[in-house]
Amino acid sequence: MANLEIQTVLDNVKVVLDIDDTIQDKMIAHLAKLVIDHFKLAYSQIDVDERFGFIIEECTIKRYVRRGAEGASSESREGYEMSFERYDDEFAPYDALIRKTLDIGYSRQGMVVFI
């Protein structure tokens, strides 16, 4: 299993956001690093496996879209309203999948042997 590289996240996020230049690369890479660091801390991981790349990319895109409204829970303008997930909940939609893949928090059937 290979570790996820920030450059891979950066490249994929730019494709989704239709960004062709390098002007925002530093900022997007920093957002990706924040998401990766949050993932490592939240799930007690030393590295992030590339299998979780889509989660890191989607959370990075959410943070990119949220720029300028970091402290807000919602933003509304004339005829437009957007609600944001809290940063501590950014992995909530993926939590069951992450825990299952990492085998965290699930008990297994075992046996006891008396000698």
The answer to whether residues 64 and 31 touch, using CB atoms and an 8 Å cutoff, is: yes
Domain boundaries, the chain: 6-102
Reported as a single tens digit per residue, the pLDDT across 31-48 is 999 999 999 999 999 999
Q: Where are the alpha helices (DSSP H) in 1-115?
A: 6-16, 25-42, 53-66, 95-102
Show Cβ contacts of residue 26 under 8 Å, excluding neighbours closer than 6 positions: none
Band of residue 105 on the pLDDT scale cut at 50, 70, 90: low
In whole angstroms, give the CA distance from residue 31 to residue 25: 10
* Whether the Cβ atoms of residue 91 and residue 98 lie closer than 8 Å to each other: yes
Prediction pTM value: 0.78
pLDDT digits (tens, 9 = 90+) for 52-92: 999 999 999 999 988 866 666 676 778 777 676 666 789 99
If pLDDT is split at 50, 70 and 90, which confidence band does 9 have? very high
Compute the distance between CA of residue 59 and CA of residue 87 in angstroms, rounded to an integer.
Answer: 9
